[in-house]
Amino acid sequence: MHKVWVIAGLCCVPALAWGPEGHDLVARIAEAQLTPAARAKVAEILGPGVSMASVSSWADQVRRERAPSGPWHYVDIPIDKPRFDRARDCANSDCVVAQIELDEKTLRDPSTPPAARREALMFLIHFVGDLHQPLHSSDNKDKGGNDVHVTFYDRPGNLHGTWDSGLLNRMGKEDDLFPVLLKEAEKHSRKWSKGTPEQWAEQAHKESVKVVYGKLPKPPAGGNALLGADYERSADPLIREQIEKAGDRLARTLNRIFQ
């Protein structure tokens, strides 16, 4: 299923996972936890003066010109199914789980040309973040929540946009959030950084069922679902934890690749 983002009269725009702030936070949390060896290799691949955060949204920026990459940003695990099924949910490796695995393989291969290595790293930085946005690991036949019309604190939009940036933008500025999230990420790193992309997707899918849809109020007849303080209280801890987990897991992946 190809997901689209419909906001303020715009249509047919590819759905994003987290806004730039969310992807920046994932990359900054990961970069802060790199080993010296991994830090040096990442710097070598990206080039002088290029941070992980500065390229964390590159994969979204090239989606229009690289249409085949669209499905790589998510995996459609049906919300009425408990597990990821590769044949059902990731045909032809067109899903974020398979692409993370492929990017890791590309980075490990010493014969990979420098340009392809750099691209694989930039995709990996972004896709690990994407995988942890719950609506990018679940399918409720609503285009990733884009067809779910909501009003979030008097602002009309859709469920996907609310989870990408609406909720996160109310948490504060990126520079204020970063040290708080990093501290929690480091506290739980040993536990959170374990597992495989497939298992991470299943965890995000479970949270989507429980919180994203499970706490979603029923809309009035013919109207938008009204999201306010109650929904925000349920969503905010999950958003924080998913960003922290993504940063931990990205750091562990890069440390393992470049040990």
d(CA 75, CA 97): 7
What confidence score (pLDDT) does residue 18 get? 78
Tell me the average confidence (pLDDT) per consecutive run of 10 residues in the chain, 259 residues long: 36 58 97 98 97 97 92 96 96 97 98 98 98 96 95 95 94 96 94 94 98 96 94 97 97 96
What confidence score (pLDDT) does residue 222 get? 85
What confidence score (pLDDT) does residue 19 get? 82
What confidence score (pLDDT) does residue 34 get? 98
DSSP the chain: ---EEEETTEEEEEP-SS-HHHHHHHHHHHHHT--HHHHHHHHHHH-TT--TGGGTTHHHHTTTT-GGGGGGG----BTT-SS--HHHH-GGG-SHHHHHHHHHHHHH-TTS-HHHHHHHHHHHHHHHHHHTSGGGS-B-SSTTTTTSEEEETTEEEEHHHIIIIIHHHTT--HHHHHHHHHHHHHHHHHHHT-S-HHHHHHHHHHHIIIIIITTPPPPPTTS-EEE-HHHHHHHHHHHHHHHHHHHHHHHHHHHHHT-
Model pTM?
Answer: 0.92
d(CA 236, CA 255): 29
What fold characterizes domain 4-257? Answer: P1 Nuclease (1.10.575)
